[in-house]
């Protein structure tokens, strides 16, 4: 009798553990704050407003997109290279658990973006055209179609680009074009970047920086 009860309790405990595994884990942004304030701060700011243009702003970015990037920076256990190959970020994510990544993503998505500024009006005008209408002759779709008319993106797949440093955006477009960045689903960005000229990349990056 006692043994049966113990068995039943054991089974119940196992069942609960499995149920907890399957339930979508709720992110805990507060748990990520100490990591942001000790590790990420130097390059992205503790509140996700980066102090320098090569490091992207993270504040206000969609949580699912941030979590995906963090996972993509990490090489696989099976020795597979990271799908987003970056030496700096590879070092940063090496010690992060999937739970840390989820928490950090929630934390940064809740911070308020202090947006970058567009500086060159001529580039902005050129970039605006490409953003809104694409380039029909070259078969380039409008960026607005996926990243939104105001660059707010669309959760969960399409990142916000509004107020991002132009230098960072330009760098990513070049990395998609060269294939150095290859983590875009269905090659969406690689196919577009392959058709963009240097001038078009510069113009659209400047325009996105000024979007609000």
- Residues touching ligand HEC: how many (CB under 6 A)? 41
- For residue 62, state whether it binds ligand HEC (rule: CB under 6 A): no
What tokens appear for 60 in the block?
A: 């206000």
Residues 186-205 that bind ligand HEC (CB under 6 A): 188-189, 192, 204
Contacting range for ligand HEC; rule: CB under 6 A; set: 23-31, 62-70, 74-82, 111-119 = 62-70
Closest CA to 60 of 145, 161, 144, 143: 161
What tokens appear for 119 in the block?
A: 């500086």
- For residue 184, state whether it binds ligand HEC (rule: CB under 6 A): yes
**Between residues 111 and 169, which has the closer beta carbon with respect to ligand HEC?**
169
Residues 119-158 that bind ligand HEC (CB under 6 A): 130, 140-141, 143, 145-147, 157-158
d(CA 146, CA 62) in angstroms, rounded, equals: 14
- For residue 89, state whether it binds ligand HEC (rule: CB under 6 A): yes
**Between residues 11 and 125, which has the closer beta carbon with respect to ligand HEC?**
125
d(CA 161, CA 61) in angstroms, rounded, equals: 8
What tokens appear for 204 in the block?
A: 């659209």
- For residue 81, state whether it binds ligand HEC (rule: CB under 6 A): no
d(CA 207, CA 201) in angstroms, rounded, equals: 10
Closest CA to 203 of 149, 150, 116, 130: 130
d(CA 94, CA 108) in angstroms, rounded, equals: 19
Contact 40, 46 (CB under 8 A): yes
Per-residue contact string for residues 28-57; x = within reach of ligand HEC by CB under 6 A: -------x---xx-xxx---------xxx-
Task: Give the interface with ligand HEC as residue ranges (CB under 6 A).
Answer: 35, 39-40, 42-44, 54-56, 58, 66, 68-70, 86, 88-89, 92, 104, 130, 140-141, 143, 145-147, 157-159, 161, 169, 171-173, 183-185, 188-189, 192, 204
């Amino acid at each position: 009798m006692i043994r049966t009860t113990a068995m039943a309790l054991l089974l119940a405990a196992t069942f609960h553990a499995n149920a907890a595994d399957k339930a979508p884990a709720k992110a805990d942004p507060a748990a990520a704050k100490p990591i942001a304030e000790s590790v990420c701060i130097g390059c992205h700011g503790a509140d996700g407003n980066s102090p320098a243009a090569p490091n992207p702003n993270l504040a206000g970015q969609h949580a699912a997109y941030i979590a995906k990037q963090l996972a993509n920076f990490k090489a696989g256990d099976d020795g597979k290279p990271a799908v987003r190959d970056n030496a700096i970020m590879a070092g940063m994510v090496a010690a992060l658990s999937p739970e840390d990544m989820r928490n950090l993503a929630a934390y940064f998505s809740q911070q308020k973006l202090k947006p970058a500024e567009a500086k060159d009006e001529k580039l902005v005008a050129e970039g605006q055209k490409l953003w809104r209408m694409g380039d029909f002759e070259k078969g380039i779709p409008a960026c607005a179609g996926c990243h939104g008319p105001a660059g707010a993106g669309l959760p969960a797949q399409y990142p916000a680009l509004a107020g991002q440093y132009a230098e960072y955006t330009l760098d990513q477009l070049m990395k998609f074009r060269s294939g150095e960045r290859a983590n875009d689903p269905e090659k969406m960005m690689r196919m577009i970047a392959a058709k963009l000229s240097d001038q078009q990349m510069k113009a659209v990056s400047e325009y996105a920086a000024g979007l609000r």
